[in-house]
Amino acid sequence: MSVFEPKTILTFLKTSTAVSPLEKNVFEKNWKASVKKRVSTWNVSRSHMNNPRPQFQLQWEAEVVEYVQFLWDKTRPSRSKKTEPNKLGFSVPLLGPRFVPPSDLHVQKRSGVGGAIEPTTQYLKPLNIVHPFYYPQLAQCPRCGSNQDTTWEGWTSKGARELHGLFCEEAALGTQLRCNRCKELSKAKTTNGAASGLVADTEGYCFATTSAMYWKGWEHWRIPQLHLFEHKRQMLEYLEAVRAHECQNDSKNTLGNYFNSASVTSGRHLQAFSEPDDPLGYGDKSISRDTITEVFIDFSTRTRQNESANYLKSLSAICASLDNTFKAANKATLTNKDGQKMKEIKGRILTVLNEGNEIISWRFCQTRANAEITELLLGLKHRHNVLGLLQPKMIIADNCCHIRGAVASAMPETEAKLDVWHFSASAIAADISGAILKKHAEHGRPAEYWDRGEQEQRLVMTFDKWAEKGVWSAAAQKVHQEQLKHVRKGCLERSDQHLRSDGSRVEGTHKGWNSLQHAQPSGITMLCALGHDFVLRRNVRVAYSRREMTPFVKFTHGSHHIHLSTHVAKLYNGLREKDGCTLLPLPELPDVDSGETFGLVMSDNAATFGGLLIKEETVDTDLAHNFEIYTDSLTGGTVDFASEASHSVMVH
């Protein structure tokens, strides 16, 4: 990877020994004329194509091509194998094959450039050059496999091809390889009307090194790239260099001579390659699992946990779905000093979703008490108050009657309703769900529900219908009675038919939670870190997939790096206000101070042993005189005998 600055490279080459004194006067003029001509040729060749490319990108790529062509002309091997190829002097910079455009740092630090900061500098894409100067092994015909009668015919006429890089979009530009042998065979095929073997499998005799046809017969490990096993790639590179060295019959061109001109005999023959773990040789060392864990937890603690929490606090709900999942939580353990593993998350992972399928709150529950649900809902209630929004109309759960008290305690105006997905999860699901639903949810439309009276009547008719056919088991009557209780209480009635109030979405999140523990069960700390990452990625993906998205989500372009997007927006808006320009401001993520925490949180219910201990209590001075007070002679403190007596009764 090399940063390519056209003006800097041109200055270096003009003053290098590779350019003769007679050429120095016209070197820059010829260089610029050649670059201009190449850009013009590319524009004409691509005029009919549907993917236009910006002129500043073509200009920079043409400068790179001119530089590589200069290197190739100075070192091009002769057709005669006996002639020693030319070498570059140390005054010529050797860059490539991957060229990275200059950054704003180069613009600011270079004298005479002007220092103008323009966004086009950041628009430039890296360029990968596929040329025999960097890859001599490419001089092999993909059709017949010969490397004896091939010639290089210049660069591809249409310019670089777009490709997907590891971190960003990039471009690749290659040259054309002509095989004279295949050219003659093609003439013979035209005459005889037949071909066989490799000749029949691949058409043509001139191939671009960036075309799919050229690489068709290459195995993946032979392609010049970053392999999965870097040690073998380095070893292959060394062996190919030795083979090229022997073919050139040049014993002076060695790595030892590059660093030490006095070393004449070093590297003359093939030498053994180091083992991967040799500390005095290749010196490879694999990263450990503990290091990976430590790095990820550090990333979560410093960045991802706050990112996920800040985004959650900006979300709200009109109709929320609440549920727990056991499987993932049961695998999270703590290890004591004796190496024994303990399961402390006995209350499962509690998750709340809104009608838009976004997770708006979650926590690890240490118990199965409703008090922990109340704590979570109180935080959600305070968030709505800070945002200036009404409390949710409904909360849907699979145990509506069990959590109704917790919901009423935290949100008195919110109704607790039953999840129809659980209600109809039986062998006769179609008829049962039909007794509850007018229409199922489909194509983005929410489900429509019958009213309470219709639901009861239809459910009784459904049960009687299947009872006549003898499909019910002995326990079916009990289940039917439980279903009727929910219907009569109005658990399956919906006050607002326009809201998506089925619980299938929250059930779908269980797959995501459980997948965090599929490969390798982890401890509580790692599961908490994975949970913050999972929630943020999922929320951003869901929000960005909507037709109508918030301005901030639209600005992120689907990126889950929320703090980065927020920082960019704040910096842009600050510069915009300072300059007084007419550009529109960028959306920022709102800072909602709801005081909520997510994941592994301190539970008041667990800390007070289910409310047995009083964390703080104020004393009524008007009633204090009715109780006997004793002053401790040692500590000077006062002891209330009535409080002590009640405490002993409560504890025992």
Q: Which of the two residues, 27 and 46, has the higher pLDDT score?
A: 27
Rounded CA separation 201/217 (Å):
10
Number of CB atoms found within 10 A of residue 204's CB: 14
User: Distance between CA 240 and CA 137 in Å, rounded?
Assistant: 8
Separation CA 329–CA 348 (nearest Å): 5
Asked if 252 and 266 touch (Cβ cutoff 8 Å), the reply is no
Residues 6+ apart with CB under 8 A from 220: none
Residues 6+ apart with CB under 8 A from 241: none
Residue 111 burial (CB count, 10 A): 6
Extents of the domains making up the chain: 2-225, 293-556, 617-651
Q: What is the pLDDT of residue 289?
A: 84
- Render the burial of 276-302: b for 16+ CB within 10 Å, e for the rest: beeeeebeeeeeeeeeeeeeebeebee
Confidence of residue 642 (pLDDT cuts 50, 70, 90): very low
CA 354 to each of CA 316, 326, 395, 443, 500: distance values in angstroms, whole numbers, following the listed order = 7, 21, 9, 18, 9
Residue 623 has pLDDT above 50, yes or no: no
Average pLDDT over residues 466-483: 56
CA-nearest of 9, 107, 110, 11 to 66 is: 9
Higher pLDDT, 629 or 440: 440
What is the structure's pLDDT at 651? 36
For 94-117, how does the pLDDT look when each residue is reduced to its tens digit (9 = 90+)? 998 999 998 888 877 876 655 567
What pLDDT, on a 0 to 100 scale, did the predictor assign at position 630? 47
Asked whether the predicted pLDDT for residue 649 surpasses 50, the reply is: no
User: In one letter, which amino acid is 73?
Assistant: D
Q: What is the rounded CA–CA span in Å between residue 133 and residue 596?
A: 60
Q: Are 526 and 299 in contact (CB under 8 A)?
A: no
Average confidence (pLDDT) over 78-83: 59
pLDDT at 195 over 70: no
* Residue among 507, 583, 587 at smallest CA distance from 543: 587
Residues with Cβ within 8 Å of residue 47, at least 6 apart in sequence: none
Tell me what pLDDT residue 299 has: 92
Amino acid at 232: K
The percentage of residues in the chain with a pLDDT greater than 70, rounded to a whole number, is 71
For residue 428, what pLDDT band results from cuts at 50, 70 and 90? low
CB atoms within 10 A of CB 52: 9
Q: Is 487 exposed, middle or buried (0-12, 13-18, 19+ CB in 10 A)?
A: buried
Three-class secondary structure of residue 629 per DSSP? strand
Mean pLDDT of 160-184: 88
At residue 566, the pLDDT reads 92
Q: What is the pLDDT of residues 341-393, one digit of tens each?
A: 777 777 688 899 998 899 999 998 888 788 889 999 999 999 999 999 999 99
The more confident residue out of 97 and 634 is 97
Q: Residue 132 in contact with residue 154, Cβ under 8 Å?
A: no
Beta bridge partners of 599: 363
Please determine, for residue 415, whether its predicted confidence score (pLDDT) is greater than 60: yes
Q: Which residue has the tokens 């290197």?
A: 71
Q: What's the rounded mean pLDDT across residues 618-640?
A: 47
pLDDT beyond 50 at 628: no
Beta-carbon contacts of 136 under 8 Å, excluding residues fewer than 6 positions away, are 244
* pLDDT tens, residue by residue, 552-584: 999 999 999 999 999 999 999 998 888 888 889
Largest CA distance in the chain: 122
> Which strands, in side-by-side order, build the sheet including 415-418?
359-364, 349-353, 319-325, 394-397, 415-418
Q: What is the pTM of this model?
A: 0.67
Are the CB atoms for 306 and 313 separated by under 8 Å?
Answer: no
DSSP annotation of 215: T
Which one, of 320, 371, 315, lies nearest residue 347 by Cα?
A: 371
DSSP string, 575-600: HHHHHT--PPPPP-----------BS
**What is the average pLDDT across 615-644?**
47
**Selection from 598, 532, 528, 589 nearest residue 564 by Cα:** 589
Q: Where are the alpha helices (H) located in 494-620, listed in sequence order?
A: 504-515, 524-544, 551-556, 562-579, 604-607
pLDDT digits (tens, 9 = 90+) for 300-338: 999 999 999 999 999 999 999 888 776 666 666 777 777
State the Cα–Cα distance between residues 646 and 652, nearest whole angstrom. Answer: 10
CB-side neighbour CA atoms (13 Å) of 271 = 13
Instruction: Say how far apart CA 66 and CA 399 lie, in whole Å.
Output: 72
Highest mean pLDDT among 42-56, 276-290, 482-496, 537-551: 537-551
pLDDT of residue 173: 95
User: Do 178 and 150 form a contact (C-beta atoms < 8 A)?
Assistant: yes
How much of the chain, in percent, has pLDDT values that exceed 90?
30
Residue 33: is it exposed, middle or buried by C-beta count within 10 angstroms (0-12/13-18/19+)? exposed
Say how many residues make up the chain.
Answer: 652
Whole-number Å distance between alpha carbons of 319 and 407: 13
* pLDDT one-digit tens code per residue, 207-264: 999 988 888 877 776 776 644 467 777 788 788 777 777 766 544 444 445 444 444 3
Nearest residue to 329 (alpha-carbon basis) of 121, 508, 502, 516 = 516
CA atoms 173, 179, 185, 190: torsion sign: positive
Mean pLDDT, rounded, of the chain:
78
Residues in CB range of 646: below 8 A, 6 or more apart: none
- In single-letter form, the type of residue at position 372 comes to E
Q: How far apart are CA 134 and CA 129, in angstroms?
A: 8
- Number of Cβ within 10 Å of residue 381's Cβ equals 18
Strand partners, 353: 321, 359
Helix axes of 6-14 and 55-75: crossing angle, nearest 10 degrees: 30
Question: Where does the pLDDT of residue 429 fall: very low under 50, low under 70, confident under 90, or very high at 90 and above?
Answer: low
CA distance 11 to 411: 73
Using CA atoms, how far residue 522 sits from 362, 437, 481, 533, 537, in Å, is 19, 41, 42, 15, 20
Give the residue from 183, 106, 116, 91 showing the smallest Cα distance to 144.
Answer: 183
| Residue of 126 and 419 predicted with greater confidence | 126
| pLDDT score at 1 | 66
Residue-wise over 242-275: b if at least 16 C-beta within 10 A, else e?
Answer: eeebeeeeeeeebeebeeeeeeeeebeeeeebbe
What pLDDT, on the 0 to 100 scale, is given for residue 359? Answer: 94
Which range among 120-134, 336-350, 520-534 shows the weakest confidence by mean pLDDT?
A: 336-350
Task: Name which residue leads in pLDDT, 383 or 137.
Answer: 383
Q: Which residue has the higher pLDDT, 92 or 85?
A: 92
Non-local CB neighbours of 637 within 8 Å, separated by 6+ positions: 631
pLDDT of residue 221: 67
Place of tokens 């890089």: 165
Per-residue pLDDT reduced to its tens digit, 33-77: 999 999 999 988 887 777 788 899 999 999 999 999 999 999 887
> Other C-beta atoms within 10 Å of 588: how many?
17
